[in-house]
Structure 1
Amino acid sequence: MITGTHALIYTPQADAVRAFFRDVLGLSHVDAGQGWLIFTLPPAELGIHPEEDGGHGTHELYFMCDDVDATVRELTAKGVEFTRPITDQGWGRVTALRLPGGMELGIYEPRHPTALPDTDMA
Protein backbone atom coordinates (compact mmCIF):
# COMPACT_ATOMS: atom_id res chain seq x y z
CA MET A 1 0.00 0.00 0.00
CA ILE A 2 1.28 3.47 -0.86
CA THR A 3 1.74 5.46 2.34
CA GLY A 4 3.25 8.75 1.17
CA THR A 5 5.27 10.66 -1.38
CA HIS A 6 9.00 11.32 -1.29
CA ALA A 7 9.87 14.18 -3.65
CA LEU A 8 13.45 15.03 -4.61
CA ILE A 9 15.19 18.24 -5.63
CA TYR A 10 18.57 17.79 -7.29
CA THR A 11 20.86 20.81 -7.02
CA PRO A 12 24.59 21.51 -6.85
CA GLN A 13 23.81 23.73 -3.82
CA ALA A 14 22.12 21.10 -1.66
CA ASP A 15 23.28 22.58 1.66
CA ALA A 16 21.98 26.05 0.76
CA VAL A 17 18.64 24.70 -0.48
CA ARG A 18 18.26 22.57 2.67
CA ALA A 19 18.96 25.67 4.79
CA PHE A 20 16.35 27.62 2.76
CA PHE A 21 13.66 24.99 3.36
CA ARG A 22 14.61 24.77 7.06
CA ASP A 23 15.24 28.42 7.93
CA VAL A 24 13.19 30.47 5.46
CA LEU A 25 10.22 28.21 4.72
CA GLY A 26 10.30 26.80 8.26
CA LEU A 27 9.58 23.21 7.25
CA SER A 28 10.06 20.64 9.98
CA HIS A 29 12.59 17.92 9.26
CA VAL A 30 14.58 14.98 10.50
CA ASP A 31 18.31 14.49 10.08
CA ALA A 32 18.82 11.17 8.32
CA GLY A 33 22.51 11.37 9.19
CA GLN A 34 25.47 13.63 8.41
CA GLY A 35 23.21 16.67 7.89
CA TRP A 36 21.05 14.96 5.28
CA LEU A 37 17.72 16.62 6.07
CA ILE A 38 14.40 15.04 5.09
CA PHE A 39 11.56 17.57 5.23
CA THR A 40 7.95 17.20 6.19
CA LEU A 41 5.84 18.53 3.35
CA PRO A 42 2.38 20.02 3.56
CA PRO A 43 -0.48 17.77 2.46
CA ALA A 44 -0.16 17.01 -1.23
CA GLU A 45 -2.19 16.23 -4.28
CA LEU A 46 -1.16 15.03 -7.72
CA GLY A 47 -2.50 16.28 -11.03
CA ILE A 48 -1.87 14.41 -14.28
CA HIS A 49 -1.77 16.69 -17.32
CA PRO A 50 -1.49 15.80 -21.00
CA GLU A 51 1.80 16.70 -22.62
CA GLU A 52 1.29 18.81 -25.70
CA ASP A 53 4.64 18.53 -27.48
CA GLY A 54 4.85 14.74 -27.82
CA GLY A 55 7.77 14.43 -25.39
CA HIS A 56 8.41 11.80 -22.76
CA GLY A 57 6.87 13.66 -19.83
CA THR A 58 8.03 16.09 -17.19
CA HIS A 59 7.14 16.96 -13.62
CA GLU A 60 6.90 20.17 -11.62
CA LEU A 61 6.74 21.06 -7.94
CA TYR A 62 4.42 23.75 -6.59
CA PHE A 63 3.61 24.68 -3.02
CA MET A 64 -0.01 25.66 -2.46
CA CYS A 65 -1.15 28.49 -0.20
CA ASP A 66 -4.49 29.98 0.79
CA ASP A 67 -3.46 33.61 0.06
CA VAL A 68 -0.66 34.09 -2.47
CA ASP A 69 -0.42 37.85 -1.83
CA ALA A 70 0.14 37.31 1.90
CA THR A 71 2.60 34.48 1.23
CA VAL A 72 4.63 36.67 -1.15
CA ARG A 73 4.68 39.51 1.41
CA GLU A 74 5.77 37.15 4.22
CA LEU A 75 8.54 35.53 2.20
CA THR A 76 9.72 38.80 0.64
CA ALA A 77 10.16 40.15 4.18
CA LYS A 78 12.50 37.17 4.77
CA GLY A 79 14.58 38.12 1.74
CA VAL A 80 13.08 35.70 -0.77
CA GLU A 81 13.27 36.74 -4.43
CA PHE A 82 10.22 36.11 -6.60
CA THR A 83 11.00 35.41 -10.25
CA ARG A 84 7.56 36.00 -11.74
CA PRO A 85 4.71 38.36 -10.91
CA ILE A 86 1.52 36.85 -9.55
CA THR A 87 -0.71 35.94 -12.48
CA ASP A 88 -4.29 34.70 -12.55
CA GLN A 89 -4.42 31.51 -14.62
CA GLY A 90 -8.13 30.91 -13.99
CA TRP A 91 -7.46 27.70 -12.07
CA GLY A 92 -5.28 29.63 -9.60
CA ARG A 93 -3.05 32.61 -8.87
CA VAL A 94 0.57 31.66 -9.53
CA THR A 95 4.09 32.94 -8.93
CA ALA A 96 7.53 31.42 -8.37
CA LEU A 97 10.39 32.01 -5.98
CA ARG A 98 14.10 31.57 -6.53
CA LEU A 99 15.88 28.86 -4.58
CA PRO A 100 19.60 29.11 -3.79
CA GLY A 101 21.43 28.15 -6.96
CA GLY A 102 18.80 29.72 -9.21
CA MET A 103 16.11 27.05 -9.51
CA GLU A 104 12.47 28.13 -9.28
CA LEU A 105 9.79 26.77 -6.96
CA GLY A 106 6.19 27.46 -7.94
CA ILE A 107 3.73 28.88 -5.41
CA TYR A 108 0.03 29.05 -6.10
CA GLU A 109 -3.34 29.82 -4.59
CA PRO A 110 -5.75 27.27 -6.07
CA ARG A 111 -9.08 28.40 -7.46
CA HIS A 112 -10.13 24.84 -8.25
CA PRO A 113 -11.46 22.12 -5.96
CA THR A 114 -8.53 20.47 -4.22
CA ALA A 115 -8.04 16.89 -3.14
CA LEU A 116 -6.52 18.00 0.17
CA PRO A 117 -8.16 16.65 3.31
CA ASP A 118 -9.45 19.08 5.95
CA THR A 119 -8.68 22.28 4.10
CA ASP A 120 -10.60 25.35 3.07
CA MET A 121 -8.39 26.04 0.01
CA ALA A 122 -11.11 25.01 -2.45
Structure 2
Amino acid sequence: MDAGGGWLIFALPPGELAVHPTEDDGRHELYLMCDDIDATIADLHAKGVECTEVTDQGWGLLTSITLPGGMQLGLYEPKHPTAHGASGNS
Protein backbone atom coordinates (compact mmCIF):
# COMPACT_ATOMS: atom_id res chain seq x y z
CA MET A 1 0.00 0.00 0.00
CA ASP A 2 1.09 3.60 -0.48
CA ALA A 3 1.11 5.22 2.98
CA GLY A 4 1.79 8.62 1.39
CA GLY A 5 4.93 10.69 0.95
CA GLY A 6 6.72 7.92 -0.93
CA TRP A 7 6.42 5.44 1.94
CA LEU A 8 5.55 2.02 0.52
CA ILE A 9 4.44 -0.85 2.78
CA PHE A 10 4.18 -4.42 1.48
CA ALA A 11 2.20 -7.24 3.11
CA LEU A 12 4.36 -10.30 3.72
CA PRO A 13 2.55 -13.06 5.55
CA PRO A 14 2.76 -12.89 8.51
CA GLY A 15 4.64 -9.56 8.41
CA GLU A 16 5.24 -6.45 6.36
CA LEU A 17 8.15 -4.91 4.51
CA ALA A 18 8.33 -1.12 4.28
CA VAL A 19 10.54 0.86 1.90
CA HIS A 20 10.88 4.49 2.91
CA PRO A 21 12.44 7.42 1.07
CA THR A 22 15.68 8.86 2.41
CA GLU A 23 18.19 11.51 1.47
CA ASP A 24 20.95 9.60 3.29
CA ASP A 25 22.39 7.30 0.59
CA GLY A 26 23.39 3.87 1.80
CA ARG A 27 21.55 4.10 5.11
CA HIS A 28 19.41 1.15 6.18
CA GLU A 29 17.48 0.23 9.31
CA LEU A 30 15.54 -2.82 10.37
CA TYR A 31 12.55 -2.62 12.70
CA LEU A 32 10.32 -5.41 13.92
CA MET A 33 6.64 -4.52 14.29
CA CYS A 34 4.29 -5.78 17.00
CA ASP A 35 0.62 -5.34 17.90
CA ASP A 36 1.18 -4.53 21.59
CA ILE A 37 4.58 -3.14 22.59
CA ASP A 38 3.97 -3.46 26.34
CA ALA A 39 3.03 -7.14 26.08
CA THR A 40 5.95 -7.82 23.71
CA ILE A 41 8.42 -6.13 26.07
CA ALA A 42 7.01 -8.16 28.99
CA ASP A 43 7.53 -11.38 26.98
CA LEU A 44 11.08 -10.32 26.09
CA HIS A 45 11.90 -9.39 29.71
CA ALA A 46 10.65 -12.84 30.82
CA LYS A 47 13.25 -14.32 28.45
CA GLY A 48 16.04 -12.09 29.78
CA VAL A 49 16.02 -9.59 26.91
CA GLU A 50 16.40 -5.93 27.88
CA CYS A 51 14.73 -3.15 25.88
CA THR A 52 15.28 0.59 25.89
CA GLU A 53 12.62 2.96 27.22
CA VAL A 54 9.61 3.26 24.90
CA THR A 55 9.37 6.57 23.05
CA ASP A 56 6.47 7.94 21.02
CA GLN A 57 7.80 8.77 17.55
CA GLY A 58 4.44 9.91 16.15
CA TRP A 59 4.37 7.05 13.64
CA GLY A 60 4.62 4.48 16.43
CA LEU A 61 5.79 3.51 19.91
CA LEU A 62 9.47 2.58 19.64
CA THR A 63 11.96 0.63 21.71
CA SER A 64 15.12 -1.21 20.76
CA ILE A 65 17.01 -4.35 21.68
CA THR A 66 20.80 -4.48 21.80
CA LEU A 67 22.03 -7.47 19.79
CA PRO A 68 25.09 -9.48 20.88
CA GLY A 69 27.30 -7.58 18.38
CA GLY A 70 26.23 -4.25 19.89
CA MET A 71 23.88 -3.18 17.07
CA GLN A 72 20.39 -1.93 17.89
CA LEU A 73 17.28 -3.70 16.55
CA GLY A 74 14.18 -1.51 16.57
CA LEU A 75 10.83 -2.82 17.77
CA TYR A 76 7.66 -0.78 17.44
CA GLU A 77 3.89 -0.72 17.70
CA PRO A 78 2.64 1.23 14.67
CA LYS A 79 0.28 4.18 14.71
CA HIS A 80 0.38 4.37 10.89
CA PRO A 81 -1.75 2.33 8.48
CA THR A 82 -0.46 -1.19 8.00
CA ALA A 83 -0.73 -3.32 4.89
CA HIS A 84 -2.47 -6.10 6.84
CA GLY A 85 -4.90 -3.66 8.40
CA ALA A 86 -5.71 -1.83 5.13
CA SER A 87 -8.85 -2.86 3.35
CA GLY A 88 -8.45 -2.90 -0.40
CA ASN A 89 -5.19 -0.87 -0.41
CA SER A 90 -2.23 -2.55 -2.01
- TM-score, normalised via structure 2 length: 0.71
Question: Which amino acid letter does the alignment assign opposite residue 35 of structure 2?
Answer: D
CA–CA distance in structure 2, aligned partners of residues 47 and 116 of structure 1 = 16
**Which structure has more strand as a fraction of its residues?**
2
- Corresponding position: 1:100 with 2:72: no
Match of 1:5 in 2: none
Q: Structure 1 residues 42 and 92 mapped into 2: Cα distance closer, same or farther (>3 Å)?
A: same
Matched residue pairs, number? 74
CA–CA distance in structure 2, aligned partners of residues 95 and 60 of structure 1 = 14
Deviation sequence 1:2-45 (CA, Å, 0-9, x none): xxxxxxxxxxxxxxxxxxxxxxxxxxxxxxxxxxxxxxx84222
Match of 1:111 in 2: 79
Q: Any unmatched runs of 5+ in structure 2?
A: 1-12
Offset of residue 117 of structure 1: 6.5
Match of 1:77 in 2: 46
Q: How many percent of aligned residue pairs carry the same amino acid? A: 55
Higher relative contact order (CA 8 A, sep 6+): 2
CA–CA distance in structure 2, aligned partners of residues 101 and 74 of structure 1 = 22
- Computing the radius of gyration from Cα coordinates, the structure with the larger value is 1
Q: Structure 1 residues 42 and 104 mapped into 2: Cα distance closer, same or farther (>3 Å)?
A: farther
- TM-score, normalised via structure 1 length: 0.54
CA–CA distance in structure 2, aligned partners of residues 114 and 57 of structure 1 = 25
CA–CA distance in structure 2, aligned partners of residues 97 and 58 of structure 1 = 19
Q: Any unmatched runs of 5+ in structure 1?
A: 1-40
CA–CA distance in structure 2, aligned partners of residues 45 and 56 of structure 1 = 19
Offset of residue 99 of structure 1: 1.2
